[in-house]
Amino acid sequence: MRLSAIVFCLFVLANVAQGSPCARLKSQPEAWVNAKVDAFVSAARAAYQSDNALPAYEKVLDGITASIRQCKLAEDDTFRSRYGVFVEYMQAAALDRHPNHELGFVVPDEQYFAETRQYVEIPEFLMDQNFLQAVSRYETLGRAKSFLRQLNSRRETSEKLIFFSYTSRHLGTPDNDDSYRRLLIVVPGNAEKGVPDKWVQFGVTDPAARVRVRNVSVVSALPGADRTSNIYFKDSFRTYRRGHPITIAGRWELGEHDDNCVQCHKSGILPIFPVAGSVDPAEQEALLAVNQRFLTYGSPRFGSYLDERKFGPGLSSASLEVREQRFGKSFTESSVAKAMTCDACHNHERLGALNWPVDRVVISSFVTGGQMPLGHQLKVSERRELYNKLIQEYFATDKANPGILKSWLLSKLQ
Ligand code: HEC
Ligand code: HEC
Q: Residue 339: which of 371, 366, 388, 378 has the closest Cα?
A: 378
Residue 381, C-beta contacts closer than 8 angstroms, at least 6 positions apart: none
State pLDDT tens for residues 49-72: 999 999 999 999 999 999 999 999
Ramachandran category for residue 305: left, alpha or beta (phi over 0 → left; psi -120 to 50 → alpha): alpha
Dist. CA 60–CA 42, nearest whole Å: 10
Distance 264 CA to ligand 1 centre (A): 7
pLDDT of residue 376: 87
**Least confidently predicted of 13-17, 30-34, 218-222, 267-271:** 13-17
Atom of ligand 1 nearest to the CA of 362: 12
Residue 12 has pLDDT above 70, yes or no: no
pLDDT of residue 98: 95
Residue 9 has pLDDT above 90, yes or no: no
**Least confidently predicted of 18-32, 232-246, 309-323:** 18-32
Q: List C-alpha distances in Å: 87 to 33, 91, 170.
A: 10, 6, 33
Residue 191 has pLDDT above 60, yes or no: yes
Contact 104, 263 (CB under 8 A): yes
Q: Residue 341: which of 291, 378, 311, 309 has the closest Cα?
A: 378
Other residues' Cβ atoms within 10 Å of the Cβ of residue 288: 14
Confidence of residue 375 (pLDDT cuts 50, 70, 90): confident
pLDDT of residue 371: 87
Distance 128 CA to ligand 2 centre (A): 37
| Nearest ligand to the CA atom of 217 | 1
Contact 40, 66 (CB under 8 A): no
| Nearest ligand to the CA atom of 314 | 2
Mean pLDDT value across residues 372-390: 93
CA–CA–CA angle 184, 189, 192 (5° rounding) = 160
Mean pLDDT value across residues 179-204: 97
Contact 186, 293 (CB under 8 A): yes
CA nearest ligand 1 atom 15, residue: 272
CA–CA–CA angle 357, 358, 361 (5° rounding) = 155
Dist. CA 156–CA 403, nearest whole Å: 51
Ramachandran category for residue 298: left, alpha or beta (phi over 0 → left; psi -120 to 50 → alpha): left
| Nearest ligand to the CA atom of 270 | 1
Distance 216 CA to ligand 1 centre (A): 11
Dist. CA 363–CA 259, nearest whole Å: 18
- Among 311, 374, 378, 382, which residue has the most ligand 2 atoms within 8 Å of its CB, making it the best to mutate? 374
Residue 177 has pLDDT above 70, yes or no: yes
